[in-house]
Structure 1
Amino acid sequence: MRSVVLELLGEHGFHGFGMRDVAARSRQSVANVYHHVADKEELVHAALVELLEGALATAEATLAVRGARERLRALCTDHVARLVETPAEAPLWRGAWPPLREPQRRRLGVLRGRYIATLQAHVDELCGRQGRRRAADERRVLLLLALLEGAAAQLERGATPARIARGAQEALALFLDGALPRSRSRL
């Protein structure tokens, strides 16, 4: 049911679908949907938490990859692959939450923050910190996320892993071209 919610969220936005749409798409009765969750906000929140926890788990798994460049490349490729398969994920990385209750928004914010911190650690390891200005480091990571979102937007759902990897590598190369000194920017 959560994958159905993510599909509907990506296709119609939060206000563009209701519990009847979820029930119809998941081939269940509306009563059965309400048996599992109290309301649409709870269902959307559960789907987004599952999505962000999955993203965080794969991001943390990239720590096993050898080499700073390879770790960052693996994380970027995974990020683009997830955005291609689940376009509803893209607004979350920009901090655009559906209208959920405050505790739900905080939970999503914590998961997003952990993912961004993991990505930032990979970027800092490869590129170095920008100094004492934490905001500059965070903007740099948000720029990388935007470049990866742009790479995913050019690909269609079901794109081959090679096309996804190429799109992620091109976005990462563009990012590193501006983030690294000229002598270190080659992938």
Structure 2
Amino acid sequence: MSPTGSRVRDAAIELFAERGFHGTGIRDLAERAGLSSATLYHYMGTKEDLLVSIMTTSLGRLLTAGERLTADGDPLARITALVELHVLTHAVRRLETRVVDDEMRSLSPDHRATVVALRDRYEHLWQDAIDTGCATGAFHVRAPRVARLALLEMCGGIARWYTPDGPIPLEQLALRYAEMALGVLGAAGPPPELAVDSVRRTMALVDEIWLPD
């Protein structure tokens, strides 16, 4: 993406997160990006095209990271890695993930179907880990689908309050969230010793996949 294209995308993410998709006008985007309205259209197409690009790019990267983290490992390791991934991305890319999570309702039906398909593929990684854990006795939860939704909501919520200068380092927050997730799932046996090294590996993967920005 060109530097100007990146400026347009960044401006859109900021404004959509602050004001919502429908509360953001073309003039607002042009002003935030430092462009004329006519020049803006060259880099974005329609406003919805820009929203779709933001959402599909973000979800595509999240899916890529999730698939790599869950390619091997038992259900407990897989769900721990997914929780760490979701917490880290929602903390370090707060505005982008808020746009993805909040603006699905703003998409037209055809575009919504494309974005939902990507989201569903990502959430399937969570559901497969939970279902496998229930089948093998690693997890004990009566409503696996509800558990998945609850965990995603819990982890995604960090985008609304996390600040880098808060009292708890992000690595520790990710570990605490992973511990809570295992509690929600009724993980069998004593709580595992979750190490900060796993969070750092996940963060390195996030940095690698989001590097194009």
- Give TM-score scaled by structure 1 length: 0.79
Distance (Å, rounded) in 2 between the aligned partners of 1:91 and 1:27: 21
> Partners in 1 of 2:36 and 2:130 — Cα distance?
47
* Structure 1 residue 146: Cα displacement: 1.5
Q: Distance in 2 between matches of 1:167 and 1:153?
A: 14
Structure 1 pair 159/97, CA: closer, same or farther in 2 (3 Å)? farther
Matched, 1:31 2:48: no
The alignment status of 1:86 with 2:88, answered yes or no, reads no
CA pair 35-91 structure 1, distance change in 2 beyond 3 A: closer
2: distance between equivalents of 1:36 and 1:87? 21
- Answering whether residue 108 of structure 2 is matched by residue 101 of structure 1, we say yes
Give the drift of 1:65.
5.9
Distance 2:60 2:19 in 1: 23
What is the aligned partner in structure 2 of residue 5 from structure 1?
A: 12
Q: Where does the alignment leave 5 or more consecutive residues of structure 1 unmatched?
A: none
Look up the equivalent residue of 1:36 and give its one-letter code.
Answer: Y
Q: Which residue of 1 aligns with 2:129?
A: 122
- Aligned sequence identity (%): 26
Task: Give yes or no for contact 1:152–1:164 (8 Å, CA) kept in 2.
Answer: no
Runs of 5+ in structure 2 lacking a partner? 1-7, 194-213
Question: Cα distance 1:11–1:105, how it changes in 2: closer, same or farther (>3 A)?
Answer: same
Give the CA deviation at 1:121: 1.9
- Determine the C-alpha separation between the residues in 2 that align with 1:181 and 1:57: 26
1:180 alignment partner, one of 186, 191, 207: 186
* Secondary structure of 1:14's aligned partner: coil
Asked if 1:46 corresponds to 2:53, the answer is yes
State the TM-score, normalizing by the size of structure 2.
Answer: 0.71
Shift in Å at residue 168 of structure 1? Answer: 2.4
1:141 CA drift (Å): 0.7
- Give the aligned length: 180
